[in-house]
Amino acid sequence: MSAVMGVDSSTQSCKVEIRDLTTGRLLGSGSAPHPPAFPPRSEQHPSDWVTALVTAANEAMGACDERPDVRAISVAAQCHGLVLLDERGEVLRAAKLWNDTTGAPNLARLVERIGARRWVMRIGTLPTAAFTIAKLAWVAEHEPGLLDRVSTVLLPHDYLTYWLTGEKVTDRSDASGTGYFDATDGQWIPSYLELAAGDRNWSARLPTVLGPTDSAGTVRPAQAAELGLGDGILVGAGGGDQHAAFLGLGLTDGDQYFSIGTSGVVATSSRGPVFDTTGAVDGVADMTGGYLPLMSTLNAARVVDRAAALLGTDLAGISELALAAGPTQGPVLAPFLDGERTPDRPDARGALADITSATTREELARAFLEGPLLSLLSGRDALLACGVELGGGATAVGGGTRSPAILQLLADLLGDEVTLPDVDEATARGACIQAAAVASRTDRAGLVDLAKRWLPDARVRVEPRKHGRNIGALRTRWASLASSPVLDGGGVS
């Protein structure tokens, strides 16, 4: 049976899916953990990604009823991470991940030198400490000798593609999250790297940017053997994890995408570029040749995990508590537990406000679950302010959606239906779609049509409740708390 393999190498783990090349039917899946990594210094060694990929791929192959004939593979992975290779292609240091905030001071100095508005109008985004350029600037300051040995600068998904093929390539979606790529012109900006890390021949150190259905090459024999695959397997350009998830869900321009995982994301797609000089919206590229304007937060599902621990329950228990809260406004949480990416406040801390002697455990649980959702709704407001169309339905994905309360509270806050698609791994599914397009040697239009043909069913549709709360007042109170400068001093309002 002809098949494709899609890889999702996220912060926490590697997930692999194998799908039928023609129908998209799931044939097998596997997963393997990555070493835990937490801000402010969040790092993983790329060799651990390879180990997890091999384990997950072999598990997926073993889960198939009959051995599939895999024709192509694509890798999607966590964005923004910094991978440095020497001239032999060896990794020079552990990769700094997207949620590594140590480069925040370096990024602030770069914003002053380049200019916030100029940077946004060039690349569509005002970079934060999450972006690759901030991490490279940190290395230049703290490990300057290392840069003399750097031959190639890659992103996490680029590295796994390199391990598979030996080719140093990337794609528009992930490149547009570096801080030094102009997605509109399709060009790297070496001058920004010179400002960040010194005068070097940066153009020669950067990967080739491939199109949505271009092939990066074929899997090398040794790597194919480790993965349990045959010979001559094509490898797609890959992409960023959220970009692949959007593709995997078959969403289109104006559809509202909410991802609630380690990070939180609200996004849609558009045909034209988006420029937000406030810095709230990242006008990044998508995996189909268009754009994926989005707002991303650092604190999402982990806030719920912390709430469960603090209230002495588990994830099911925290969900039950939150759903049992009465029609009160209740306490409000600014969920910046580990600093925040949007708004760009790497030193911020969380704050819980409006607690009274009548406050209940149920209200506290609801506040912890609502905090990250209110952050995402703030991002949705920013998208609308940029003129982005958001008239489509709301789709929620990510580990946080396993909580019935998260889905219900999101529907309540939106005042509209929220759909949970019948998809366990949207990112791996999107990587499979790209791999199928590469195997079929189709073009961009064929890629989009394929995503529509593989459109998943809805697993759950959640309607908003008649809850009796003033959502407008709640959002105003949250905005006031979240903008308080006391959060940057570690205080509690």
The encoded tokens of residue 465 equal: 């409740």
Pairing status of strand 256-260 against strand 394-397: parallel
Tell me the β-bridge partners of 14.
9, 32
Q: Does residue 241 have an active-site annotation? A: yes
Q: Residue 206 corresponds to which amino acid?
A: L
The span from the CA of 299 to the CA of 444, in Å, is: 34
The encoded tokens of residue 156 equal: 């996490």
Tell me the β-bridge partners of 460.
420
Q: DSSP letters of 340-392? A: BTTTTBTT---EEE---TT--HHHHHHHHHHHHHHHHHHHHHHHHHTT----S
H or E element in which residue 329 lies: none
Cα dist from 154 to 157, 245, 477, whole Å: 8, 21, 42
CB 353 within 8 A of CB 331: yes
Cα dist from 311 to 119, 304, 315, 319, 336, whole Å: 44, 11, 11, 12, 18
CB 17 within 8 A of CB 26: yes
The span from the CA of 363 to the CA of 274, in Å, is: 38
> Which phi-psi region, left, alpha or beta, contains residue 258 (left: φ > 0; alpha: ψ -120 to 50)?
beta
The encoded tokens of residue 339 equal: 């600093």
End-to-end, the C-alpha distance of the chain in Å comes to 60
The span from the CA of 146 to the CA of 444, in Å, is: 39
Q: Report helix, strand or coil for 153.
A: strand
**Which of 158, 241, 276, 286 is flagged as catalytic?**
241
CB 6 within 8 A of CB 60: no
Cα dist from 156 to 76, 227, 398, whole Å: 9, 19, 20
Q: DSSP letters of 49-69? A: HHHHHHHHHHHHHHHSSS--E
Cis-peptide into 343, omega within 30 deg? yes
H or E element in which residue 262 lies: none
The encoded tokens of residue 438 equal: 């590469």
**CA angle at 167 for the pair 163 and 168, rounded to the nearest 5°:** 95
CB 9 within 8 A of CB 157: yes
The encoded tokens of residue 449 equal: 């049509």
Active site residues: 241
